[in-house]
Amino acid sequence: MAQASSFGGRALGWLIGLAGVSLFLALLLTAFADDLGDPESSGPNGFSRSALGHRAFLGFLERIGMEVSLRRTDRISMLSPDTLALALDPPPRSTETNDDDPFQRLIDGAEAAQAPVLITAPKWAPAQLSTNPRFLRRVALIPANIATSTLSPFDEDLAVIRRRTPTTCKAGDRAFRVELRSAQLFMQSDEFEVLAECDGYPLAVLLDEAWGEGPVYALSDPDLLNNHGLGRAEHADLLHDLLVRQIGLSTIIVDETIHGFQRSDSLLEEMVRFPLAFVTIHVSILLGLLVWGGFRRFGKPRKVGEALDQGKRILVDNTANLLTLAAEHGESLRLYHRYCMRDVARYYYLAPDLPHDQVVARLADIGGSRGVTESIERLDREIRELIKTRQRKPDRTVRLGARLDQWRNEMTDVG
């Protein structure tokens, strides 16, 4: 036999209210949890706050009005001719082509989409980590030939050299103060167009041999834009001139797949990854509660008490229970005694203003003539004595109440 559902109306209301608040908090946390969801890193990438990181540079791009997005998948749809893809400090790589290399996949995707790309040559490598995994204690220079090999797929003549620290770099007809420790510059060549130079050596170039219509820009020294170099001298002004005046694109895609921060295109995988995992957990709990609430319990039905249509004996039991639970047993018995006396006296049309003793005597005579088993005179006396002594005797009170009820029923032919 089916029984009631698992949740009552009030419990269901509480569950719905809590579910609404929980869902609102989950969505709010998902919307504003970007910083919480950033990977911990001290390397040269857009998530890093260390000296080699690019987090400050991303904020700088947004401050000058550019639309910035992080690319963490291999989707070509994010690349277009109107979007500048940044490959900042790509890891050192060999000259051999490798389809599993994220940097090579970025090159292939940009070539297919004819998207412009800006690449910075790597310069520094972490040498000693700090106690905080987000920061570095010491860094080391990458050998110049390793930095050169990273850029070789674009132009074999694009070679990196290290020079003394220059104080001024030129971009077009403007000069900018710079502070580049162990400045990393390109070797002079006629194979590319120079956009900025320091002491006659190219700092930023536009390669002539580009794929399709998508140009390739190269920046030799990442100290212009990393966290410890962006605020020095006039580095920010120089970058602004290169990006806004010379390149002229306002939509930036920063590729982080080259640093290992790659996500799957699968929606299911994203739903179990922070911060969308909050919504997934929330929905799973709600579905579980919904299924649980929809179940109806089966098994042996509960035992049902006696029905009211089996007579008025149940009323006597309820009265006895009420007398037992009452705080003043004697007072409850007194009120019930008065009610029964009035009810029986009215049944025999006795005058309502008769004194109590006369009513008892008249009813005793009537009861004797009718053969009633209980003597109302004796019962009235016992009830008065119990009330007078104020003794808390619930068992005796219940017995007197039951005898009183039996007497009333016999006097009125009830039951």
SS3 411: helix
What is the pLDDT, as a whole number, of residue 263? 67
| Mean pLDDT, all residues of the chain | 79
The yes-or-no verdict on residue 54 having pLDDT over 50 is yes
Residue 154 pLDDT > 80, yes or no? no
Measured distance CA(145)–CA(184) in Å, rounded:
12
| pLDDT per residue as tens digits for the range 199-258 | 889 999 998 655 556 788 999 999 999 999 999 999 999 999 999 999 988 888 888 888
What mean pLDDT do residues 184-205 have?
Answer: 90
Rounded to an integer, the average pLDDT of 170-191 is 89
At 192, the pLDDT band (50, 70, 90 cuts) reads: confident
| Interval 134-154 mean pLDDT | 81
pLDDT at 169 over 90: yes
Q: Are 282 and 22 in contact (CB under 8 A)?
A: yes
What pLDDT shows up at residue 80?
A: 84
Residue 2 is predicted with a pLDDT of: 46
Segment 101-120 shows an average pLDDT of: 83
Please state the rounded mean pLDDT for residues 387-406.
Answer: 81
What's residue 413's pLDDT? 74
The percent of residues above 90 in pLDDT, for the chain, comes to 16
Residue in the block written with tokens 């030129």: 170
Architecture, CATH, for domain 34-271: 3-Layer(aba) Sandwich (3.40)
pLDDT in tens, 289-321: 777 766 665 556 666 655 544 556 676 677 666
> Where is mean pLDDT largest: 2-11, 85-94, 260-269, 279-288?
85-94
Q: What is the pTM of this model?
A: 0.56
Specify the higher pLDDT residue, 92 or 79.
79
The continuous run of DSSP H or E covering 144 comes out as: helix 144-151
Which residue would you say has higher pLDDT here, 4 or 227?
227
Dihedrals φ, ψ of 170, to 5°?
-110, 140
Per-residue pLDDT, 299 = 58
**Range 400-404, long-range pairs (CB < 8 A, 24+ positions):** 400/333, 401/319, 401/320, 401/323, 401/333, 401/336, 402/316, 402/320, 403/374, 403/379, 404/336, 404/337, 404/340, 404/379
pLDDT number for residue 43: 78
Q: Where in the chain is the domain with CATH 3.40.50?
A: 34-271
pLDDT the model gives residue 309:
46
% of the chain at pLDDT higher than 70 = 73
> How far is residue 241's CA from residue 246's CA, in Å, rounded to a whole number?
7
Q: Nearest-5° angle of CA 293, CA 299, CA 305?
A: 100
Mean pLDDT check: name the lowest of 116-125, 178-187, 253-262, 307-316.
307-316
Q: Among 117, 189, 118, which Cα is nearest to 160's?
A: 189
pLDDT for residue 33:
54
Report which DSSP code applies to 226: S
Return the pLDDT at 125.
81
Question: What is the DSSP secondary structure assignment for residue 321, as one 8-state letter?
Answer: H
How many whole angstroms separate alpha carbon 136 and alpha carbon 210?
36
Q: Could you tell me which of 89, 61, 41, 55 has the C-alpha nearest to residue 223?
A: 89
